[in-house]
Amino acid sequence: MSKSVTPRTPKGFRDFLPETMLRRNYVLSNITDEFHRFGFEPIGTPILELHETLFGKYGEDAEQLIFTAQHGRSTREPLAMRYDLTVPLARVVGQYENELNFPFKRYHIAPVFRGERPQRGRYREFWQCDADIVGVPGMSADAEIVSLMQRILSRLGFPQFQIKINHRQLLVAIGEFSGVPQEQLPDLYRSVDKFDKIGAEGVRRELTERGIAADAVSRMMDLIQAKAAGAGSLDLIADAIGEDDQGIAELRELAALLAEAKVPPACYEFDFTMARGLGYYTGPIFETVISQPNLGSITGGGRYDNLIGMFRRQSLPTTGTSFGIERIIDLMDELNLYPGRLGGTLVQVLVTVFNQATRGASMRIAEELRGAGINTELYLPSRKLGRQFQYADKKGIPVVVIIGPDELAAGVVKLRRLADGSETTVASSGAVEAALTLLSQTP
C-alpha cells in the first residue's frame, strides 16, 4: 500500500463536477453556435508553445506570470504554457499565411494559464473565448464584432448589459489636447480605467499624485466624462477637440454601421472613461459591463493592428473580442439564467431493473429509448426498486421506467414521472412514444 495523498488541485486550478460542467457546456455551446451564425470558424493550438513564441510579447510584469514547462531534463526546446489566445492566433497567422483565406474569421475557446494569485473569478487556469477578424482594416469588421457581442449576450439571456465603446487614438488625442505629456499617457489610461471603481475624484487624485499637472487633469476629466445618448457624446468631444481626429471619424463610422446592423441602441454607448489595459490596442476598444451585480467586465476587446507583425514582416489589421466566460458563468449562476431543463443531469429516463430475470427486458427497452434519441440510463447495480427510485430522484431524472414480472407477463411497460408521481402503463411497443409524451409535459 502506498501512502495516501491528500487529494487536491494545484493552487488556482479547479475541477468541475458534472452539474457544473453541464452549465459550462450550455454557455459554450450557445456562444459557439452564434459564432457559427456569424461565419467564424474554430482553430485549436497547443497548450504549450515555444518559450520564444510567448516571451517578449506581454511585457516584463506579465512574463513573470507565465508558466514554463519541461520534459525530463531536456532543455533543447524551452517551453511555456499559453498565456492567452491572441499570441497563438498571431503565430498561426504568421505560420499558415499561405493556407488561410483572408479575411480570416476565427474563434478559439480553450484554457490559458497565468501564475497569478487566485481570487474570486480569477484563476491560474481559466478558459478564454475569443473571436477575431484578421485582414480587415475598416470599421465594418469592428461593427460585426460589436454586433456579435450583442447577439451572444442577448441569447444567453442577460436582461441588460452595456457595451462600452471608446477609441485608443481618441484617448491619446484627449490626453494631448488636455496637455498631458506623452510619457504619462500610460498612467493616464491606467487611472482612467478605474473610473467605474474609484469615481471621478479617485481618478483625479491618482493622476495628481502621479505628477500630472492639475489643470491638465481637470481639462481631461471634463472631456472624458462627456456623455450623451447614442453618438451624441461624440459630438460633445468633437466640439471640444475638433472633428479632425481619426478616433472620432472611426467611431462615427462605427456608430452608423451599428445602426445598419440593427444593434439595439440601448445595448451600447460611447464611454470615454473606458480604457482597457491598453497594451496592444490601436483603434476602437470594447468592453461590456453588467451593472446589476457589478462583477466587472464580461467582454473585452478592440482593434490591434500591430500584433500580428510580431510573427510576420508586415502586420495585418485585426479586431476582435474576448468573452470572459468564467465571469459570464458566475453571473448566469447568480441571475439564474439557465433553462430549467438543464437541471442536475442530462439523463431523461432511468430504466429500472426489477431482478435478474427481467434484466434482459429492461436492456431492450433502454436500447429502444436510446435509439429514439432519448438520454437513457439503465440502472446497473442489483438493488431493490426503492433504491433505484431514490437514485433517480436524487439525480433529478424526470422519468422512470418499470418493467417487473407482472409487466413482462402482460407485455407492457410502466412509466412514472417523478415530479408529480403520475404513472402510465403502455404496451411495450409504445414505450418510446409514452416516454416522449411524459418528457414533453415536463417543464
Partner RNA sequence: GUGGGCGUAGCUCAAUGGCAGAGCACCUGAUUGUGGUUCAGGCGGUUGAGGGUUCGAGCCCCUUCGUCCACCCCA
Residues that bind RNA (CB under 7 A): 8-9, 11-12, 61-62, 114, 116-124, 126, 128, 190, 193-194, 197, 276-279, 296-297, 300, 322, 324, 326-327, 354, 384-386, 389-390, 393-394, 402, 404-407, 414, 416, 418-421, 423
Q: Environment class of residue 226 by beta-carbon count within 10 Å: exposed (0-12), middle (13-18) or buried (19+)?
A: buried
| Side chain identity at residue 366, one-letter code | A
In whole angstroms, the minimum distance from the beta carbon of 35 to RNA comes to 18
- Spatial distance between the Cα atoms of 126 and 116, rounded to a whole number of angstroms: 11
Distance between CA atoms of residues 87 and 94, nearest Å: 11
**CB-nearer residue toward RNA: 230 or 343:** 343
When the beta carbons of 28 and 278 are compared against RNA, the nearer one is 278
Angle, helices 431-440/359-371, rounded to nearest 10 degrees? 60
Question: Which residue, 89, 45, 90, 78, is CA-closest to 311?
Answer: 90
The least distance separating RNA from the CB of residue 394, rounded to whole angstroms, comes to 6
Record the cell numbers describing residue 58, joined without a space: 506581454
Q: Which is nearer to RNA, 247 or 324 (CB)?
A: 324
Comparing CB distances to RNA, the nearer of 63 and 97 is 63
CB of 159 to RNA, least distance (A): 21
**C-alpha distance from residue 183 to each of 60, 188, 210, 378 (Å):** 18, 10, 12, 68
Across-strand partners of 301?
A: 286, 321
Q: Give which of 171, 181, 245 is closest to 216, Cα–Cα.
A: 181
Q: Which is nearer to RNA, 12 or 135 (CB)?
A: 12
Q: Name the minimum Å distance from CB 130 to RNA.
A: 10
Q: Which is nearer to RNA, 104 or 354 (CB)?
A: 354
Q: Which of 298, 301, 303, 307 is nearest to 334 (CA)?
A: 298
Minimum distance from CB of 425 to RNA (Å)? Answer: 9
CA gap 237, 276 in Å, rounded: 19
C-beta separation of 220 from 172 below 8 A: no
The CB-of-53 to RNA minimum distance in angstroms stands at 18
Name the DSSP letter for residue 165: E
Nearer to RNA, 51 or 190 (CB): 190
Task: Look up residue 23 and give its amino acid.
Answer: R
Nearest-approach distance from CB 411 to RNA, in angstroms? 13
Query: H-type helices in 261-310, by residue range?
Result: none
Q: Smallest gap, in angstroms, from Cβ of residue 277 to RNA?
A: 4
If the CB atoms of residues 48 and 399 are measured against RNA, the closer one turns out to be 399
C-alpha cell at 316: 495585418
DSSP class of 211: T
